[in-house]
Amino acid sequence: MAEAKKTAAAQAGKSAAATKAVEKKVKEATVTLKKDADKAADAVAKKVTPVVKKAEAKVESVKKEAAKKTESAKKAAPAKKAAPAKKAAPAKKTSVRSAIKKAVEKKAAAETHIVLQVNNKDISYADFTGRAKEIWKNMGKKETDLKDVAVYVKPEEGKAYFVLNGEAVDETFDF
């Protein structure tokens, strides 16, 4: 009987050691996954940030250009009231419209595609934004009212969380 107790104690010791080894491996794997997720998030942020900044700069330059043209059209309008020539004012409006249209076309020419690859799955930027718009519509709101979309991707959970117009949303995007 003493021998059986020794055997049971030895097996329990081996089992505890095996459990600790497994726990250690799980912790190491978790740390590695978190580092990989952080690297992936940083890589996406590095690619997205310059594109967003360029787009914002372009929008600002178009706004400034439109404001200048509108201002010059307003200044030219009183002088044209004194003179009977009215065709010049609509031409200015057309040139402002064409300048805006050209700027938008230039912006549209450089397409950027962002794809997040996690666990052999590809999730595109369009997937995230499409889901955000869908959630927004399901909330009973107009798509045109959606001005700001923030997507928080957590690859270790296989989920994306959304903040729409500064409002956290309960729904998630599972991938």
What is the residue-wise DSSP string for 94-138? HHHHHHHHHHHHHHHHS----EEEETTEEEEHHHHHHHHHHHHHH
DSSP sequence for 41-82: HHHHHHHHHHHHHHHHHHHHHHHHHHHHHHHHHHHHHHHHHH
Residue 162 has pLDDT above 90, yes or no: yes
* Residue range of the domain that includes 172: 113-175
Which residues, in sequence order, are bridge partners of residue 151?
A: 162
- Rounded Cα distance, 40 and 104, in Å: 31
Tell whether 162 is covered by a domain. yes
Give the pLDDT band (50/70/90) at residue 52.
confident
Give the pLDDT band (50/70/90) at residue 104.
low
Give the pLDDT band (50/70/90) at residue 146.
very high
Q: What sign results for the dihedral spanned by CA atoms 49, 53, 54, 59?
A: positive
- 116: amino acid identity, one letter: L
Give the pLDDT band (50/70/90) at residue 98.
confident
Q: Are 154 and 160 spatial neighbours (Cβ–Cβ below 8 Å)?
A: yes
Give the pLDDT band (50/70/90) at residue 127.
very high
Instruction: Give the model's pLDDT for residue 46.
Output: 77
Residues 6+ apart with CB under 8 A from 79: none
Residue 118 has pLDDT above 80, yes or no: yes
Instruction: Give the model's pLDDT for residue 109.
Output: 60
Whole-number average pLDDT of the chain: 77
Rounded mean pLDDT of 67-92? Answer: 59
Tell whether 120 is covered by a domain. yes
Residue 154 has pLDDT above 60, yes or no: yes
Domains identified in the chain, total number? 1
Better-predicted residue by pLDDT, 11 or 28:
28
Give the pLDDT band (50/70/90) at residue 76.
low
**Which long-range contacts link 36-44 to residues 24+ away (Cβ below 8 Å)?**
36/155, 37/154, 37/155, 37/156, 40/116, 40/118, 40/155, 41/153, 41/155, 44/114, 44/116, 44/153
- Rounded Cα distance, 147 and 94, in Å: 28
Tell whether 157 is covered by a domain. yes
